[in-house]
Every structure is written in C-alpha cells, then in structure tokens.
Amino acid sequence: MSELRFVTLRDIPELKDAAAEWFHSKWGVPKEAYLECMDAYLKGSTEYGWYLCLDGERIVGGMGVIENDFHDRKDLSPNVCAVYTEEDHRGRGIAGRLLDLTVEDLRKKGVSPVYLVTDHTGFYERYGWEFLCLVQGDGEPDMTRMYIHR
C-alpha cells in the first residue's frame, strides 16, 4: 500500500486539470466551473482552496471551498463543497483528514466559521462540525442540513 499524501492545489498546481475532471466525474458540475474556482485560488484572488488526497499519483479524495454551495442562505459563507472519497479508499479517515486540513488552512487565513450542506447525519459531527439549520438547495424540493465549524 502506498503512502497517502494530503495536499492543497497550490502545492501541486499542475494537478488542476486532472482535479477539475475528477470532481466533475463525481458530482456532474461542469468541469469549467471547477476550473474557474481553481484558477481564482491559484492566482491568489481567493483563499477558498482545493484540497486533495493522493494515493501515489491517483486522486482518491478531495473537497473544495466556495462562496455558496447552491443553497438559499447566501449569508452562510464560505462553504466546503464536493466532498468525496473513492469507494475503495473509504473507511480510512481520508475525508476527516481533508476536513481538518481545510478548516485549519482557512483558520490560518482568518476565515472562520466554515459551513457545509449535506444529507449525512453523524459523519461530520465526528470532526467538530455542528448542525446549524435547514437550507433550501437551489432547485431542490427538500430542505438540506447545514453544518458549521467554528
């Protein structure tokens, strides 16, 4: 088993295209939308970053930070988004380590609290996230859970 590496996209900017394609393949959001956010981060026009877990050269986990993750509470910002771990790597603490890396990186830059929307219950609480409220997802019929990390 190779060693897992946890990096920001600024650590390895040459992964931008592959990372955008990977996130697109998981969530169906256009690759161009990911590239636009990643470019802003790499150029330093935002500190809302992109965080990856690599197994060798393969991306096996990742998440990003954006202003709003497609919900009606525009005042709750920024949002962790696109949280994903490859099925064959789940149960190894990858998402938890990425969440911790993300929160700590943002805190060092003076960005706190941080929010995320999810339908999961019980998972994020393990990493210091608290349920905050329900929000309406853009175009979604049901409300979604909003969490905060202070």
Tens of pLDDT along 95-132?
Answer: 999 999 999 999 999 999 999 999 999 999 999 999 99
- Report how many domains make up the chain: 1
Tokens of 97: 């380590």
Domain residue limits at 30 = 4-112
Does 56 map to a domain? Answer: yes
The phi and psi torsions of 143 (rounded to 5 degrees) equal -75, 155
Does 33 map to a domain? Answer: yes
What's the count of helices (H) and strands (E) in the chain, helices before strands? 3, 7
Q: Looking at residue 38, which CATH number applies to its domain? A: 3.40.630.30
**Torsion-angle region of residue 124: left (phi > 0), alpha (psi -120 to 50) or beta?**
alpha
What pLDDT, on the 0 to 100 scale, is given for residue 125? 95
- What residue ranges of the chain have pLDDT lower than 70? 1-2
Bridge-partner residues for 51, per DSSP?
A: 8, 63
Q: How far apart are CA 123 and CA 115, in angstroms?
A: 15
